[in-house]
Every structure is written in structure tokens, then in C-alpha cells.
């Protein structure tokens, strides 16, 4: 589809919504859907930045190496990454996730809203559990993007959701729906999937966060029946605000937080895909394992993890036939995202 056509469609959309819908459904491929989503995302991001208006200053107290410092930053513009830039390149590289006021997790590329203390977290810090979870969540999130890239259009791919990250379950997962009945990917397919994910990681995208209103989110995910279902519940809980994340051109709903960039993902393996529903609907669970950069593991040890991730991960299954052991712990649908 040419740029010209896209522009005309954009105009069409703004003029009459109903007509646009019919056209959209007929001639928009998944690629076009993604582009449309990104355009909306960009517009909203720009709008929010413009709304900041007069720049106010906040005091950020930085704790950590090389030394504790107080920095004067811009409200709603400066991010923790900007703070790290004041120190050195090494500090920037090691900043994966921020901790604000010693309690709240904050994305590295999310603008700071008020004066606070700031700590930067890394995979190898003393207690990296929070970072590990953010990493695991990011992997799930990216897996959705990879599947969108790699699967053919006639498969009817719709991303369902990805659950709360659980390292102990042994794999990160992403649930998808297809119009294929019994998809049994070969070893080569799985391998190409993990290679695609590695490629995605090496593209080195910063992961952006954006809070949008319910309407815009609905507009973005109107082609996805599952998201359409989930959105009202989420917006009710969060006072009409929905959090979106973007890496490259892939956008999804998630509560966050996530790590700062895709470049921290070094070793990926996608060992299995399981069908998790019965015949009426085709929900699949794609499972994978990954390690952040700077972590080495022998091929044999990594294979042990891969073998374990082959089994179905029963954490927070979206259907009711979930494993009864985990049913108590499983949060509701809204919490899962």
C-alpha cells in the first residue's frame, strides 16, 4: 500500500468513521494495522509532550555509584535515563530499571513527575528480583511482536494476552489465537522463531511507555476481539487510563514496568507451543526462555532450562480449565495484563 493511499485513508477516517471502518476491514493488512497503531501512538505522545507547557524544575536525589548526587531536572520531560547521562556511559548502560523513593518501580524512559530519590537497578545488583521480573515481562511482550512479524497473514493471528511474569515457572509465555486447528510447529519453525526474536533484540529499540485514554486504546486495538473485550475492565480499574508499551513498531497493553531497551536480551530459545483450549477456539500458548546480556551459561546448562520449558506452563491459564493448584494465586483478568 502506497503512502498516498494511506494518507487518503487517514483523511477518510477523520471525516467519517463508519465508512472508514468498512474500508479498513477490507484492505488493511496486519502491517497496515501496525502502522495505524503507531501513528496513533505517535500523535498521542506528541500531544502529551506539547501539553507540558512551561518547564518546571524538580530535584532528583540520586543514590548509588559513583556517588550520591542531587540533580536539577525538568518536570514531566526528564527521564531517569537523562539523570544517568550526567554520570558516565557505564552508568547509562547499567540502568535497566529505576526505583523511585525506594518503593516505586519506574521505567527508564518514562518522564519524572515530581522531586524524588532515584536508584538505578541492574541485572547484577544485590537483589535483582524486580529487574528479573521486568525482564521476563519484556520478553513476553516482545514475543508477541515476534509472532506478529513471523506468522503469515492467513493464520488469522490475534494476540490474546500475556500473564504476570513468573520466573519459577521456567518460561515466559504469550497467549495467541489462530484460525488453524492443530498448529504443531516443527523444530526448524521454533528455531527460526527464536532467531527472529534475537534479531528483534539486536535492533536495539528503546521501550517506550504511554498512558492513553480508553477511546484511543479502543481505536488502536479495534481489530483485536480479545483486547476489545479486555479494555473496558482495565480502564474501569485504572480510572479510564490505559498503559501502552512500544518496542520498535510493536505496541501492546501492559501494566509494566519493563526494562529500558531490547538490547539486554542476548540468548533466546523458544522450545514449545501448546494448544490450551479445546476445539471451539484455537488459543495457543507460546513459551520461551531468555537470558540477559552479560550472563553466560554453558550450552548444556541452557539445554536443561530449555527441556524444562518444553512442558506446558500452567501459570494463569486464560481458560477455565486451568491447573487447580494455581487457581488461588491467579489474579483476575485485569491484573494479568
* 129 versus 327: smaller Cβ distance to another protein: 129
Q: Binders of another protein among 125-164, rule CB under 8 A?
A: 125-129, 132, 135
Distance of CA 165 to the CA centre of its chain: 12
* 244 versus 306: smaller Cβ distance to another protein: 306
- Inter-residue contact 197 to 288 (CB < 8 Å): yes
- Inter-residue contact 244 to 41 (CB < 8 Å): yes
Task: Give phi and psi for 193, each to the nearest 5.
Answer: -65, -45
Residue 116 exposed, middle or buried by CB count within 10 Å (0-12, 13-18, 19+)? buried
CA atoms within 13 A on the CB side of 186: 2
- Please, what is the minimum distance in Å from the beta carbon of residue 209 to another protein? 22
- Please, what is the minimum distance in Å from the beta carbon of residue 124 to another protein? 5
- Please, what is the minimum distance in Å from the beta carbon of residue 320 to another protein? 26
- Inter-residue contact 252 to 160 (CB < 8 Å): no
* 64 versus 149: smaller Cβ distance to another protein: 64
Distance of CA 226 to the CA centre of its chain: 16
Per rule CB under 8 A, is residue 124 in the interface with another protein?
A: yes
- Please, what is the minimum distance in Å from the beta carbon of residue 186 to another protein? 16
* 179 versus 296: smaller Cβ distance to another protein: 296
Site string for another protein, 239-278 (x = CB under 8 A): ----------------------------------------
Please choose, from the candidates 72, 83, 84, the residue with its C-alpha nearest in 3D space to the C-alpha of residue 115.
72
Per rule CB under 8 A, is residue 299 in the interface with another protein?
A: yes
* 53 versus 66: smaller Cβ distance to another protein: 66
- Please, what is the minimum distance in Å from the beta carbon of residue 298 to another protein? 4
CB count in 10 Å sphere of residue 107: 23
Give residues with Cβ within 8 angstroms of 149, minimum separation 6: 196, 200
Give residues with Cβ within 8 angstroms of 24, minimum separation 6: 9, 13, 223
- Please, what is the minimum distance in Å from the beta carbon of residue 297 to another protein? 5
Q: Binders of another protein among 162-221, rule CB under 8 A?
A: 167-170
Q: Cis check for the bond before 66: say yes or no (omega within 30 of 0).
A: yes
Position of cell 513468573? 166
- Please, what is the minimum distance in Å from the beta carbon of residue 117 to another protein? 12
Site string for another protein, 86-105 (x = CB under 8 A): xxx-x---------------
* 3 versus 299: smaller Cβ distance to another protein: 299
* 13 versus 311: smaller Cβ distance to another protein: 311
- Please, what is the minimum distance in Å from the beta carbon of residue 289 to another protein? 7
**Please, where are the H alpha helices in the chain?**
3-15, 17-27, 30-51, 80-85, 89-94, 129-150, 187-202, 214-220, 225-237, 299-309, 333-336
- Inter-residue contact 173 to 140 (CB < 8 Å): yes
Q: Determine the interface stretch with another protein among 27-35, 117-125, 179-187, 319-327 (rule: CB under 8 A).
A: 117-125
Per rule CB under 8 A, is residue 3 in the interface with another protein?
A: no
Site string for another protein, 54-93 (x = CB under 8 A): ---------xxxxxxx----------------xxx-x---
* 128 versus 256: smaller Cβ distance to another protein: 128
Q: How many residues bind another protein (CB under 8 A)?
A: 40
Give residues with Cβ within 8 angstroms of 174, minimum separation 6: 140, 141, 143, 144, 147, 159, 160, 162, 285, 286
Q: Which residues bind another protein (CB under 8 A)?
A: 63-69, 86-88, 90, 121-129, 132, 135, 167-170, 289, 291-292, 294-301, 304-305, 308
Amino acid at each position: 500500500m502506497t503512502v498516498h493511499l494511506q494518507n487518503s485513508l487517514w483523511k477518510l477516517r477523520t471525516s467519517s468513521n463508519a465508512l472508514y471502518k468498512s474500508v479498513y476491514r477490507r484492505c488493511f493488512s496486519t502491517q497496515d494495522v501496525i502502522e495505524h497503531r503507531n501513528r496513533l501512538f505517535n500523535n498521542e505522545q506528541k500531544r502529551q509532550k506539547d501539553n507540558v507547557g512551561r518547564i518546571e524544575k524538580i530535584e532528583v536525589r540520586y543514590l548509588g555509584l559513583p556517588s550520591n548526587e542531587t540533580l536539577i531536572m525538568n518536570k514531566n520531560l526528564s527521564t531517569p535515563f537523562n539523570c544517568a547521562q550526567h554520570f558516565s556511559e557505564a552508568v547509562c548502560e547499567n540502568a535497566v530499571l529505576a526505583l523511585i523513593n525506594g518503593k516505586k518501580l519506574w521505567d527508564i524512559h518514562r518522564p519524572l513527575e515530581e522531586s524524588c530519590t532515584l536508584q538505578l537497578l541492574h541485572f547484577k545488583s544485590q537483589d535483582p528480583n524486580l529487574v528479573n521480573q521486568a525482564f521476563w515481562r519484556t520478553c513476553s511482550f516482545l514475543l508477541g511482536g515476534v509472532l506478529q512479524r513471523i506468522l503469515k497473514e492467513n493464520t488469522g493471528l490475534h494476540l490474546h494476552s500475556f500473564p504476570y511474569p513468573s520466573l519459577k515457572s521456567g518460561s515466559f509465555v504469550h497467549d495467541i489465537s489462530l484460525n488453524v486447528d492443530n498448529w504443531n510447529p516443527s523444530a526448524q519453525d521454533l528455531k527460526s522463531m527464536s532467531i527472529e526474536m534475537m534479531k528483534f533484540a539486536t535492533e536495539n529499540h528503546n521501550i517506550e511507555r504511554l498512558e492513553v485514554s480508553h477511546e484511543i486504546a479502543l481505536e488502536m486495538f479495534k481489530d483485536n476481539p480479545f483486547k476489545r473485550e479486555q479494555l473496558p475492565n482495565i480502564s474501569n480499574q485504572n480510572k479510564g487510563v490505559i498503559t501502552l508499551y512500544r518496542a520498535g513498531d510493536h505496541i501492546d497493553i501492559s501494566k509494566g514496568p519493563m526494562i529500558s531497551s531490547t538490547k539486554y536480551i542476548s540468548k533466546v530459545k523458544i522450545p514449545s507451543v501448546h494448544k490450551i483450549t479445546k476445539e471451539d477456539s484455537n488459543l495457543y500458548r507460546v513459551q520461551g526462555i531468555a537470558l540477559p546480556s552479560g550472563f553466560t551459561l554453558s550450552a548444556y546448562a541452557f539445554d536443561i532450562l530449555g527441556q524444562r520449558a518444553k512442558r506446558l506452563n500452567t501459570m494463569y491459564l486464560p481458560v477455565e480449565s486451568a491447573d487447580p493448584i494455581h487457581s488461588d494465586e491467579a489474579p483476575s483478568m485485569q491484573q494479568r495484563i
